[in-house]
Structure 1
Amino acid sequence: MTFVQKHPAVLGTVACSFALSQPFFYYMAGPLQENDQLTESRSLVFGMHDEAVHALQKKLKRIKLYEGTTDGKFGIKTEHAVKQFQRRYNLDITGRANKETIHQLMEMERDYYLESLKSIDGPIYPGSRGKDVESLQLALYYFGLYEGEIDGIYGPLTKKAVTQFQTIYDLPIQSTVDEDFFKVLYTGDQKRISQKVILLKNQETSNITPLANHLNTATNTATNTSASSETNGNIGTSPTHASQGTGRLIQTARAYLGTPYVWGGESPQGFDCSGYLQFVYQSIGVSLPRTVDQIWSSTLPLKRPSVGDLVFFETYKPGPSHAGIYLGDGKFIHAGLDGVTISSLSNSYWKNRYLGARRVNQY
């Protein structure tokens, strides 16, 4: 079976060097979802303490370079593990997890989980056993879909993960998977897969809407709400706070409606969630941190949002992981999967994930 490889080859023999620290995996967030946290950070250095460091530690632990606890604290053991990784792959040995180091780590990890798909010979169906099924399970685990042991048995959990991937990628729903399925699994758009897996897992937890409807509409909610929905249960609104920059802030935010979502994007060519907020606030001379949780920590809590305030949500991980700018009338503007769009706080998806409003203290 031959696939066109879309990613550059990493140094060394990945299958040999990427030894697993444990024989079995259980779903928390797949390695691909951890990449989302890492790419939002410019560089991880000694002394930092956040989710991106936690993701880095988990990746380094899988390849037996990190021996400490995955506590999100960048200490001596984490720095030592980063240096070992940099030495192994002929990178500058700084102990800092910069973009080059993170990219190399993600590429190596991707190859470990997906390269064996190319050697699968023939279709796989429920009841199949062996190395080919292990390769399938590893790939589905990488994407955050497979939740069981890597045991080489095509059972109910493998079938569930296969069906979920087929749903995400609009493939025919069938239990038997063949070369066409493996090709999409290997060459598919990882950004698209990662974000839709997050939405799928959130939908599983909350049972808000049917799966297909949720995947297609969760980030493109209706914006035409009646005046009576201006207050939504716990989510109220307060009169607009007076600020010289509010009008300019909202004008800038709206000017980029429709700008596409780009993972790690922070320019009009494409934004991710926090990159968009950072760019818009910079237009009025206000600097925001790069990640949503850092923005949350650096802002002031409010009982109710006013125009120009930030509204925060818990999506793919505990704590603040998505945010937007409040526009009034129960609406907010944000960079979602469908690009910069306006959504409503009354929508069940956002209402159930709402954490609160906060104000930038420089603003």
Structure 2
Amino acid sequence: MALLSPRKTVMTASLAVAGVVFASPSGAEASFGERTLSYGMSNNDVKVLQEKLKEEGFFNFHTATGYFGEITKQAVKDFQSANNLKVDGIAGPQTFGALTNGSGSGGSAAPAPVKIPDSSLLREGSSGNAVTLLQEKLKELGYFTASVNGRYRSDTVEAVRTYQRTNQLQVDGIAGPQTIGHLNSGNGKPYSPEKPPANSGSGSTQLPTNTVLRLNDQGSGVEALQTHLKDHGFYSHSVTGTYGPITRDAVRSFQRAANITVDGIVGPQTFNALKNWTGSGSGDSGSGSGSGGSGGNAGTLMVGSEGPAVTELQNELRTLGLFHVQPTGYYGSITKQSVKTFQQQWNMTADGIATKATIQKISQAADVHREDAGSGGSGGSGGFQVMNLIADASTFIGTPYVWGGASPSGFDCSGFMQYVFNINGKTIPRTAAQQYNFGKSVSSPSVGDVVFFETYTTGPSHNGIYIGNNQFIHAGSSTGVTIANMNTTYWSTRYLGAKRLH
């Protein structure tokens, strides 16, 4: 049996005390410092290197992983710079000497970690340096086991989903601001295959394939359904195994987002859509629903807050047409901007922080909108709901304008109307003029009514859905789908009237 050098024996013992266990090296394996370590390598010597860098204050992850990725390379470069060595990110004889002889200079402050850019969403199909850094961080923590290649494919999706589930974030396989922010913070839990993922429940999460689930059903199939809906951000309650009204509403929300038949019944079409779902029920790109919550109903809510109070706030903002994705319970950048927009509309301090006064004002405004929707005939045959119409329309904000377009790849004004009404079970004509003639005239618009304008030609040539507070959502030729104010000079001078199309 090969003997360890005294130096390596001491290091192994100290790491065992720290809770990091190494496999014993074979006789053919070089001891630490006898071979150069560089980017892409993965072995026990890299773990020793990371531990030594950690002791010197240059490697800031909780656990040495044994993988020499971008983070380890940067830590080596920072150590080399602090010790007047050649800065190349490669651990060779000079770097080993400074580390093992105790002559290294520890940083006066922890070096800045390599951060993943958070300016855009990373999802399946993405590629580039940001994906490389994402894979590096996931690999450092043990979630990503494939080769780092900068391509966001199924293996990266699964690694992100596992990270999100373990760290109690919104599970959607998409690296958005919250997931990236959590990774950049250095607070991510290392992967532990012995630990069951959060929210896994006691039963199987395998979706059934040969059954239909509907209201009042019970059992493991319903548990699996609720778990998958919860992972995708459509269900924020406890997994109970009982198919009640809340589960039915979550199913409907998912069906609407997946653009399939909306009936609240889970059959083969819905099961297949759930299994293959790559979209997000979350808005704050990868946000967690959070079961607890910082910031109660009576407190101030701000970026980082989470829990039921945030979910309620997001629902109210969605009612007002200001929050354009599914509520997540996490107060991220999208929620902040929605609050800020509301504050600007009401001449409040526009800082994006939901104080008690802001929350009360949002609630009051949402109540008015709901009353307007009720007086405007929110019910109707086929279960038509005005607030669903507004919520669905708002999810397309940012979609580009395309002349003759009538799909999510691009809309013109009347194509947008026809599409949104259609997914809510209402068939209306195609052009603005036809829709004007089809609708029932109203003296003043209520939420959900369609407002018409005379723009490039005589008669009704443009329209949008009224969302209250003198605002409407429409597909503008220069803006794409957006929200506009009817009181501006341009729109007020071209206004023809409102029609009810539902």
Would you say same fold, with TM above 0.5?
no
The TM-score normalised by the length of structure 2 is 0.26
The TM-score normalised by the length of structure 1 is 0.34
Flag the structure with larger Rg: 2
Which is bigger in relative contact order (C-alpha 8 A, separation at least 6)?
1
